[in-house]
Amino acid sequence: MLTIRRKPGQKILIGNDIVIVIGSFCRFNDIKIHIAAPKNISILRPELSEELQAKAKQIIRSNKENK
C-alpha cells in the first residue's frame, strides 16, 4: 500500500487513465475524493462490495432452491 499526503485540489494518477482528485474536507474526519476512470472499471466502497456479494449469494441460493 502506498501512503501519500495530498492537499485539496491535488491529483493522484493511477496508470494512464485513472485520476483521483482530493476534494474538500467535509465534517469531522470526512474528505471528498473525486475519481475519474473508464466505464469498464468498477469503483465501489468495500462495504458496498460486501453487500453486493451477499445479495448475489442469496440470489444464487434462491435460484437453486426453486429448481
Whether 6 maps to a domain, the answer reads: no
Whether 5 maps to a domain, the answer reads: no
Query: For residue 31, what is the DSSP state?
Result: E
Whether 3 maps to a domain, the answer reads: no
Task: Say what the pLDDT of residue 17 is.
Answer: 94
CA of 30: how far to CAs of 9, 15, 38, in Å?
15, 26, 25
| Cβ partners under 8 Å of residue 45, min gap 6 | none
Instruction: State the 10-residue block means of pLDDT for the chain, 67 residues long.
Output: 90 95 84 93 83 84 78
For 16, the domain range is 11-66
Whether 30 maps to a domain, the answer reads: yes
For the chain, state the CA radius of gyration.
18
* Domains in the chain, number: 1
Task: Say what the pLDDT of residue 65 is.
Answer: 78
Number of alpha helices (DSSP H) and beta strands (DSSP E) in the chain: 1, 3
